[in-house]
Amino acid sequence: MADLIDRALALVSESFIAAAGPGGQNVNKVATAVQLRLDVYALRLEPEVFARFKLLAGSRMTAKGELVLTARRFRTQEANRADARDRLAKLLEEAQNLPEKRAKSRLNRVGKTERLAGKKRRGAVKAGRGRVSLD
């Protein structure tokens, strides 16, 4: 896992952009927001991991397979850079985790009959909601 994150951080290109938000007058003078760009295809992820990664990334992933993360929460470049790198690491870790298989629920005979009786009661209530005839 750490190997994948190290590879990703080595492939990342960073650029600093002007940010809105906290910083006072300094925000107009200094480009504090960081934008990380990562070519996901260069990571050579397994197909199922790539599919989960693409789903998790959502609109942050371009059609060319490039992930674009923008961090602008903090007032300094260093803090925003660390924030963006942490978010990238969490995204990769989450894509690596396999979703747990859902266990089928198993009903016994009594539970099954109660469920069917409830369905019958509900069906009877709904059947009584028909149009009223004046016969």
Instruction: Answer yes or no: pTM beyond 0.85.
Output: no
Domains of the chain by residue range: 2-96
Say if residues 88 and 36 touch (Cβ distance below 8 Å). yes
Whole-number Å distance between alpha carbons of 34 and 78: 9
Could you give the angle at which helices 2-11 and 77-96 cross, rounded to 10 degrees?
130
DSSP 68: E
Per residue in 51-79, pLDDT (tens digit) is: 898 888 888 888 888 889 888 888 888 99
Say if residues 79 and 87 touch (Cβ distance below 8 Å). no
* CATH among 2.40.37.10, 1.10.101.10, 1.10.10.10, 3.30.160.20 for 2-96: 3.30.160.20
Confidence of residue 98 (pLDDT cuts 50, 70, 90): confident
Say if residues 32 and 80 touch (Cβ distance below 8 Å). yes
Q: How far is CA 125 from CA 75, 97, 106, 131, in A?
A: 62, 46, 28, 13
